[in-house]
Structure 1
Amino acid sequence: MTSGWQTYARRYHDFRSGRYPLPNDDREQDREDMMHGMMLQATDGRLIFALIDEDLQNIVDLGTGTGILAIKVPYLESPEKFLKAFRHMRPGARIELQDIDHQCHSDDDTIPDNWPVTRLYDLLVDAFQRFSGNSRAADLGGEYLTNAGFINIQHNCVKLSFGPKKYYVGQFYREACKQFFPALAARHFPKMGWTSAEMEVLLAECREVMKDLQCPCLQYDINF
């Protein structure tokens, strides 16, 4: 979908009154492709975690970025889509969900209080709940699958670091987030009463702390 409306020099979806919070312009499509390459590095080249047969017949994909990921990976997000998928799948078929949890973690619990990126994510979670929907779908993937009727559910977690662990991954994840944060903020923060100057101050603080290669922050790419 390439139609939509523009704000802050970004083009956003017009579908269902702009419910989807991210842009659909060329910059966002380039970021999606960069994230795909980054995830291949983070998973040592694994496109999928589902235990599929070698004689795979059909794959259905939803919500897989620009299409690169859609070559092999099914991706479903809402409870209704899980239920519909379950009803239309043959016995023995498999489904896989991949999403980033949009929370800040660390292996040693050393993320400072009031850290800018944590503050930004807390604000974005609030904005999603008020204007777009659930930003924590990754955490609920197992519950969605269970409620739809799926069995033998497995859970994998891939750590994405801003810091030096897997340097290639950290380098590109920082860049992806530096593009991701202002795109979301421009969509929602004005509706929460923020001025452009206030947004830029917080975004600048986030960019600054992400420069630290010893940054302890991790986020999880969650797979079911």
Structure 2
Amino acid sequence: MSGGLSGAYVYSEKEDQASYIKDVYTTIIKRDLVDKYGIKEEALLDSLTDYMMDNISNLTSASKISTVFKQNKVETNHITIGNYMKYLCSAFMFYKVKRYDIRGKKYLETSDKYYLSDLGFRYAMLGTRNMDYGRAYENIVALELLRRGYEIYVGKLYQKEIDFVAMKQNEKLYIQVSDNISDSDTLERELSPLRAIKDAYPKILIANTKHDDYDIEGIKVLDLTNWLMRIGVCG
């Protein structure tokens, strides 16, 4: 839960680590963004950042967030929210990932996903409330794919969603990410979108299996920890 900020590991106590991470967060937001863009509504920026951290790996948009805020008596509009989201991405607090229509082979403009640059920020600011480890693992995989030089997109095929379409030069991968797939219904739900893709590019399910790699109908099932320690994506 300390994330990847090296300075946090100077402290042995979790509370001190969280305090350090909060200070880093405050410096990024208050100094770099508020000063650079002349932001007047600092409380709105804080609320937006909390919301985005609480909704990592979920499809969202400036219009959707604006509607949620208005329902909670926060006065704003989608233009302001959209600008603040751009500022947060420009500060590398979040990475924006667009959607890709696999069948139509085109990029979609409605709704994107936002991945947090370091999950330590979320733990420090929000604790473990409403923590969905499947979404946290998806965030980790997104960052690792970017680190390995892939362009990543959220795949859409009819009404199904594929967590990642990862591309690099002539390479393309379809990747699903899950927490625990020991339940047959969960496993089937994760495999279903990959089965629906009819081309020959590799299809991978990354989960917290704690087992060696195995194969289901041509789909590689990889343990998250083992995958993170490897050089190649496909195992």
What TM-score, normalized to structure 2? 0.25
Q: Which has the higher contact order (CA 8 A, sep 6+)?
A: 1
Q: Which has the higher strand share?
A: 2
